[in-house]
Structure 1
Amino acid sequence: MYKPLRCPSYEDVACQETDKALQEAIRGEAAAIKFYTYLIELTPDQVQRDLIFGIREDEKRHLNNFQAVYCRLTGCTYSYPEPDVDQPASYCQGLAKAFNDEQEAYEFYKANYFCNKRHLVKKAFLDALLDEAEHARWFNNLLIRNGCFQDP
Structure 2
Amino acid sequence: MNGYWYGPYAYASYQPYAQPAAHGETDQRMQLVLRLILEAISDERHDELFYDYLLSVAPTEKEQQVITGIRDDERKHRRLFRQMYTQLTGQRPPMTGEGEAFQKPASYLDGIEQALMGELKAFEKYRVIYKYIPTQYRDTIFEIMTDEMKHASYYNWLYAKNK
Same fold (TM over 0.5): yes
Inter-CA distance 24–130: structure 2 relative to 1 (3 Å threshold): same
The Cα of 1:118 is off from its aligned counterpart by 3.5
| Counterpart for residue 26 of structure 1 | 41
Structure 1: how far apart are the matches of 2:134 and 2:17? 11
1:52 aligns with 2:67: yes
Structure 1 vs Structure 2: percent identity of aligned residues? Answer: 30
- Decide which of 79, 96, 103 is 2:120's aligned counterpart: 103
Structure 2: how far apart are the matches of 1:61 and 1:123? 15
Structure with greater Cα Rg: 1
One-letter amino acid of the counterpart of residue 9, structure 1: Q
| Counterpart for residue 154 of structure 2 | 138
Structure 1 stretches (4+) deviating beyond 4 angstroms? none
| Counterpart for residue 3 of structure 1 | none
Q: CA RMSD in A?
A: 1.9
Name the count of aligned residue pairs.
138
Scaled by the length of structure 1, what TM-score is found?
A: 0.83
| Counterpart for residue 4 of structure 1 | none
Structure 2 gap segments, 5+ residues each: 1-13, 19-27
8 Å Cα contact 1:99/1:136 also seen in 2: yes
Structure 2: how far apart are the matches of 1:102 and 1:73? 25
Structure 1: how far apart are the matches of 2:17 and 2:83? 26
One-letter amino acid of the counterpart of residue 105, structure 1: A
1:40 aligns with 2:55: yes
